[in-house]
Amino acid sequence: MLEFLAESLYLYPDIYGVVVLVITFALVLALSYRAGRAMVKTLSGRGRALVLTVSLAWYFILFVFFSIFFIALPGVIMQLGQFFPTLGSVAQLVDRATSIAGERVLVPIFLVLLLIGVIRLFLLTKKETTPIVSTSNTTNSLIRSVWLGARRHLLIAFLVFVAFGLLRLPVLDQRDKTPEQIEKIRETKLTMDDVLGTNLPKHPNTILREDGNTNPTEADIRAYYDSTIAGKDENANGIRDDVELAIFESYPDSAKTRAALLQYALALQMEMTQPFVNTEVVIAVAQVGDKALNCIWSIVSREIREVFISQTEEYEEFVNLNQINTEARQNAQTKFYKGNLESYSSPNESCDLDLNVLTN
């Protein structure tokens, strides 16, 4: 159902945007009008001008209050997309649709439905000419009468405010942690030990035999490496173990090539291991990836354009095929960037290490 809704919202944002706005303001009208009506009934024993003024003021305040919260709700849910992926995607499309439609019809819909409530309250105050509450209530002070008429919907407004705040808590927590996480991303770099293989992870056959599998098959190895999206990183250098071993196996005689490819693998692995995802974090990871690509391009001669393109594409494809090697990882990469990546400045830096110190 959510998938169908998401597809419809994507294909027809104008139509669905108007529908969403009408439903939203109709709900706002229902809540606000009930509050205004309750105020009319509570004050009905007083002068009509006073009743109309107070009830309309209360109605208008709640109409604006609920409008702000309901219009902002898709954006809040969208920010929670990493916890509820499908719901977050739908919320993103709803937000897009209402933004597109809202440019033309937001104010007219708001004013029309607001006016409907005003007219209904006007007619209601004209009709209510006798008190419909007990005598004890009608003799209360004006302030107490207003309180009696407003308290139920004040509670509703308070609960909406609290719920909205609770929905925002994870986002606010992430916002506080974002600068620290960006710094961690930028400070995570390839080391010379990684390039030289000083601390290579164990071969999977060795690990599986130690775990009791005396004759591990290729399927066993893949199951070991692919059991989670992040995979295995036994030597804790930020590079997935199977990708690291594949690079060393394929390029045993070129430390410069290993350095460039390991840096790219490190950058791609960051897409799978972030504790939370937002625009700032995604941009930081994308910049690290661009830097790694610059490093790959730096190790290939540009004298012959066709050779340069072919060789760099070969290196990039090698790492990508090993790194993004399952459907789950492909989906994770798509989810990581979708709706989070905005325009950014690509860095001019390239390799984490000075490759000139490497002889080959």
Name which of 144, 115, 176, 117 is nearest 43 in CA terms: 144
Between CA 184 and CA 186 the distance in angstroms is 5
CA distances from 101 to 67, 69, 97, 111, 244 (A): 16, 18, 6, 15, 49
Between CA 320 and CA 188 the distance in angstroms is 20
pLDDT at residue 136 in the model: 45
SS3 341: coil
Between CA 151 and CA 38 the distance in angstroms is 10
Q: Angle, nearest 10°, between helix axes 48-79 and 13-43?
A: 140
Which range has the worst mean pLDDT, 7-11, 176-180, 191-195?
7-11
SS3 151: helix
pLDDT at residue 4 in the model: 55
Q: How is residue 79 written in tokens?
A: 């920010």
Between CA 334 and CA 332 the distance in angstroms is 5
Between 359 and 134, whose confidence is greater? 359
**Spacing of C-alpha 98 from chain mean position:** 18
**With contact defined as beta carbons under 8 Å apart, do 189 and 295 qualify?**
no
Question: pTM for this one?
Answer: 0.61
Please state the rounded mean pLDDT for residues 296-322.
92
Name the average pLDDT for the chain.
83
pLDDT at residue 277 in the model: 83
The answer on pLDDT for 285 being more than 90 is yes
pLDDT digits 0-9 by tens, 235-272: 999 999 999 999 999 999 999 999 999 999 999 999 99
Name which of 106, 96, 123, 110 is nearest 40 in CA terms: 123
Domain residue ranges of the chain, discontinuous segments joined by +: 2-175, 188-357
The answer on pLDDT for 109 being more than 60 is yes
The answer on pLDDT for 96 being more than 70 is no
pLDDT at residue 9 in the model: 53
pLDDT digits 0-9 by tens, 142-187: 788 788 888 888 898 899 888 877 777 776 677 788 889 999 999 9
**With contact defined as beta carbons under 8 Å apart, do 221 and 205 qualify?**
yes
